[in-house]
Amino acid sequence: MKVGILTGGGDCPGLNAVIRAITRKGLQEGFEIIGFKDGWQGLIENKFINLNLESVSGILPRGGTILGTSRTNPYKNEEDIKKVKEGFKNIDALIAIGGEDTLGVASKLFKQGLNVVGVPKTIDNDLSCTDYTFGFDTAINIVTEAIDRLHTTAESHHRAMIIEVMGRHSGWIAIEGGIAGGADVILIPEIPFDIEEICGLIKKRQKRGRNFSIVVVAEGAKPKEGDFVLQEEKRDAFGHVHLGGIGNILAKEIEKRTGFETRVVVLGHLQRGGSPSAFDRILGTRLGIKAVELVKEKRFGQMASLQGNKIVSVPLEDAVGTLKVVDKEFYEVAKVFFG
């Protein structure tokens, strides 16, 4: 069999671990493995590289993806989707590695009769039907380390520090990074916030002698009477607007209402970069091997998934049907430490 791989959407640590595992396992099964460059754009333009033992040697600890990525949506253009389908004539199966957008395209292609298998990737951990996506563990470790470092400077200068993290519609990075880092307030997209309540928590800390506060906010968090904060109105190929700036708005309000000097740190793409954690290297490896097994068994339209400590398969359609969001019970755990 000739099997193609692509990585689409935002990059994250662990992608190369998956590519390496698919290549090693695929070659053992006697498959020919090729990697399409820059996500779905590689299939549209027929740009690919042959993958072998030499090309995946040494990539396990590397961040990003050796194949490159893009946010190309072939369904935006009739000619593009036609080229993608023509590209499938040169392969027997495709393993698509990505989040809701990339795997959403893969699910549509499967419904149109093409041989596709999915591997879940996103630092946001918001794909359904899998307990964790690779990339998430590395991201929350980066957030936790950032909070640890900001604690000392916040305490020294008696400041409130706002840390803005990624999370468009789900607050997994904010809540898990915030709990691990000992944040005093955590704001997530799932639960609109009240600025007066936040300021009250900061004042409460001051009354008991804690003259600094750490507030972690997801980029998609919004006030009870308000909407998303946008950097610009322009939308990407999948219809997403560019979020960002909620941290600066919060800082101005907190400083004005409490008198506390307030500073903002936007972690941005730092959360995506660098070497993957041990957990993400192992998870990516296991998911990649499972994807090859699904191809070998001709179980197309499936996504490799972590459930408990087992790697299983689930329908792609189910995985991309709804986003996995933070439930209120988990948020109540975080609230115990607010203020």
Cα distance from N-terminal residue to C-terminal residue, the chain: 58
The three-state DSSP-derived secondary structure of 56-86 is: CCCCCCCCCCCCCCCCCCHHHCHHHHHHHHH
What does the alpha-carbon distance between residue 271 and residue 165 come to, in Å, rounded to a whole number?
8
Checking if the pLDDT of 241 tops 60, the result is no
**Same domain assignment for residues 152 and 199:** yes
Whole domain around residue 288: which residue ranges? 2-135+276-321
Is residue 156 located within the same domain as residue 68?
Answer: no
Mind telling me the catalytic residues?
Answer: 124
User: In this structure, is residue 335 part of a structural domain?
Assistant: no
152-198: pLDDT as tens digits: 999 999 999 999 999 989 999 999 999 999 999 999 999 999 999 99
262 is a domain residue: yes
d(CA 339, CA 335): 9
125 with 158, same domain: the answer is no
CB of 106 closer than 8 Å to CB of 44 = no
Give the CATH number for residue 150.
3.40.50.460
Read off the pLDDT of residues 86-110 as tens digits, 9 standing for 90 and up. 999 999 999 999 999 999 999 999 9
Q: Do 267 and 302 lie in a common domain?
A: no
Q: What is the pLDDT of residues 206-217, one digit of tens each?
A: 899 899 999 999
pLDDT of residue 228: 47
Sign of the CA dihedral 211, 217, 222, 227?
Answer: positive
| 85/61 same-domain check | yes
For residues 259 and 267, what is the distance between their CA atoms, to the nearest angstrom? Answer: 25
In a domain? residue 225: yes
Structurally, the chain folds into a number of domains equal to 2
The SS3 assignment for 182 reads coil
Domain assignment present for 109? yes
pTM over 0.85: yes
**Same domain? 49 vs 150:** no
